[in-house]
Structure 1
């Protein structure tokens, strides 16, 4: 199932910042990069999210917000963000409803796959990449920044 060229499914999820985040609130204002990842504190995720967080200035310069999404709780997100210095909001999709909307839920394992979606200011999915296996991490922040530059 591809969402490319379609309106991004809207959602509201609690985040480690203390506020709920609604995707449609960015419409007309910012591009959004959704980074779905399996688990806080896992080895690959602990490389991926800090990498995206470290490029936050570059994303901000490109008028883009990065949001991490997985099924861990807000409490786990807060602890993980503090330990790894992650500054992008981490959203708690505890029932995997949002992951299902984006076609990346791995229900039998109770996690989401690793995937990146770029949503333009109009709310349309302009780039999507779902890793073949949750342990793969092939789309780096620089790749996503290049896609943003093409918008």
Structure 2
């Protein structure tokens, strides 16, 4: 897992079937990157739904939220619509897990991202990270405490 103080690897991933998002385009804002194993799993669904409900609090800290998993852009589209999510889910689909690998949180045995969260500051430096057990929703308290400490 990439450590605090490292430059966050830049990436470009699909946010919708025809639009990509590049991490460096968010320079000047804090970015919360929530890696998770898979759309449609109960824990992941609960985690993303919680973050969706907390979007105004992320923005209060000048932070953008993005979710990343190895699911396809089409899977993300269906999941986003079903869960009525209002933040981008990015498809680390092909080459499978390349961004998760760059951040050091790809599970080679299971073939998906581990459940990990990174906060990247306005200059692109990792300021906080957390690796959660795959079966547990990490919630949002730790993220907000870290964001509060960066203001």
TM-score (norm 2): 0.93
Using the TM superposition, give the Cα deviation of residue 113 of structure 1 relative to its aligned residue in structure 2, in angstroms.
0.5
Distance in 1 between residues matched to 2:121 and 2:46, nearest whole Å: 26
Q: How many residues align?
A: 148
The 3-state SS of whatever aligns with 2:64 is strand
Task: Detail structure 1 runs of 4+ shifted over 6 Å in the superposition.
Answer: none
Q: Residues 46 and 137 of structure 2 are in contact (CA less than 8 Å); yes or no, is this contact kept in structure 1?
A: no
User: How big is the alpha-carbon RMSD for the aligned residues of Structure 1 and Structure 2?
Assistant: 1.3
Distance in 2 between residues matched to 1:3 and 1:49, nearest whole Å: 24
TM-score (norm 1): 0.93
Distance in 2 between residues matched to 1:41 and 1:18, nearest whole Å: 22
Which ranges in structure 1 are unaligned for 5 or more consecutive residues? Answer: none
Residue 35 (structure 2) pairs with residue 62 (structure 1): no
Q: Residues 40 and 76 of structure 1 are in contact (CA less than 8 Å); yes or no, is this contact kept in structure 2?
A: yes
What does the per-residue CA deviation read over 1:94-121, in whole Å, with 9 as the maximum and x for residues that have no partner? 1100000111101221111000000010
Q: Residues 36 and 113 of structure 1 are in contact (CA less than 8 Å); yes or no, is this contact kept in structure 2?
A: yes
Q: After superposing the two structures, state which structure 1 stretch, 102-111 or 40-49, moved more.
A: 102-111
Superposition map of 1:30-49 within 5 A? 30-49=29-48
The 3-state SS of whatever aligns with 1:99 is helix
Using the TM superposition, give the Cα deviation of residue 149 of structure 1 relative to its aligned residue in structure 2, in angstroms.
1.1
Distance in 2 between residues matched to 1:107 and 1:86, nearest whole Å: 28
What does the per-residue CA deviation read over 1:65-96, in whole Å, with 9 as the maximum and x for residues that have no partner? 00000000111111111111111100000110
Q: Tell me which residue corresponds to 1:121.
A: 122
